[in-house]
Amino acid sequence: MTDDELACAAALLDLPGMTPVRLARLLDGFGPRLAWRAVRSGTHPGDRERRFRIGARRVDPGQVLARYRAAGVSVLLPDEVGYPAGLVGDPGAPAVLTAIGDPASTEARPAVAVVGTRSATRYGTSVAAELGRGLAASGVVVVSGLAIGIDAAAHAGALDAGAGAAPPVAVVGTGLDVVYPTANRALWEAVARRGSVLSEAALGTPARPRVFPARNRIIAALADIVVVVECHGRGGSLHTVEAAARRGIPVGAVPGSVRSPASRGTNGLLVDGCMPVRDVDDVLTAVSLTRGGRAIAPAGSRPSGGGGRSDGPVAGLGRVERAVWEVLDDTPTTVETVLLRTGLSLGAVGLAVGGLEERGLVVAGAGWWSRA
Q: What is the pLDDT at residue 314?
A: 63
**Where does the pLDDT of residue 291 fall: very low under 50, low under 70, confident under 90, or very high at 90 and above?**
low
Q: Does a structural domain hold residue 80?
A: no
Q: Both 347 and 202 in a single domain? A: no
The conformational region for residue 146 under phi > 0 = left, psi -120 to 50 = alpha, else beta, is: left
State how far the Cα of 119 lies from the Cα of 132, in Å rounded to an integer. 18
Q: What is the pLDDT at residue 212?
A: 82
pTM of the model: 0.78
Orientation angle between helical segments 264-271 and 237-246, nearest 10 degrees: 20
Least confident piece of the model among 81-95, 128-142, 205-219, 325-339: 325-339
Q: Both 218 and 138 in a single domain? A: yes
Q: Does a structural domain hold residue 302?
A: no
Q: Does a structural domain hold residue 330?
A: yes
Q: What is the pLDDT at residue 302?
A: 34
Q: Both 272 and 334 in a single domain? A: no
What is the rounded average pLDDT of the residues 21-26? 94
Q: Does a structural domain hold residue 305?
A: no
Choose between 233 and 14: higher pLDDT: 14
**Where does the pLDDT of residue 313 fall: very low under 50, low under 70, confident under 90, or very high at 90 and above?**
low
Residue 223 vs residues 227, 275, 280, 332, 366: alpha-carbon distances, Å: 10, 15, 16, 34, 29
Q: What is the pLDDT at residue 173?
A: 94
**Where does the pLDDT of residue 292 fall: very low under 50, low under 70, confident under 90, or very high at 90 and above?**
low
- Last residue of some domain: 257, 290, 323? 290
Mean of pLDDT over the chain: 88
Q: Does a structural domain hold residue 90?
A: no
Q: Both 214 and 119 in a single domain? A: yes
**Where does the pLDDT of residue 310 fall: very low under 50, low under 70, confident under 90, or very high at 90 and above?**
very low
State how far the Cα of 105 lies from the Cα of 100, in Å rounded to an integer. 12
Q: Both 107 and 171 in a single domain? A: yes
| pLDDT tens digits along 53-78 | 999 999 999 999 999 999 999 999 99
Q: What is the pLDDT at residue 168?
A: 96
Q: Both 145 and 235 in a single domain? A: yes
Count Cβ neighbours within 10 Å for each residue of 345-363 and write b for 16 or more, e otherwise: bbbbbbbbbbbbbebebbe
Q: Both 25 and 158 in a single domain? A: no
**Where does the pLDDT of residue 34 fall: very low under 50, low under 70, confident under 90, or very high at 90 and above?**
very high
What is the rounded average pLDDT of the residues 24-48? 94
Least confident piece of the model among 237-251, 274-288, 293-307: 293-307
Q: What is the pLDDT at residue 296?
A: 36
Among 221, 216, 247, 248, CA closest to 116: 216
Residue numbers of the domain that contains 56: 1-70
Choose between 336 and 123: higher pLDDT: 123
State how far the Cα of 150 lies from the Cα of 156, in Å rounded to an integer. 10
What is the rounded average pLDDT of the residues 178-200? 95
State how far the Cα of 119 lies from the Cα of 42, in Å rounded to an integer. 47
| Range with top average pLDDT, 44-48, 296-300, 366-370 | 44-48
Q: Does a structural domain hold residue 300?
A: no
Q: Answer whether residue 353 shows pLDDT above 90.
A: no
Q: What is the pLDDT at residue 364?
A: 83
Q: Both 142 and 276 in a single domain? A: yes
Half-sphere exposure of 269 (CA within 13 A, CB side): 34
Q: Does a structural domain hold residue 262?
A: yes
Q: What is the pLDDT at residue 301?
A: 38
Q: Does a structural domain hold residue 173?
A: yes
Among 3, 40, 2, 12, CA closest to 200: 12
Q: Both 285 and 326 in a single domain? A: no
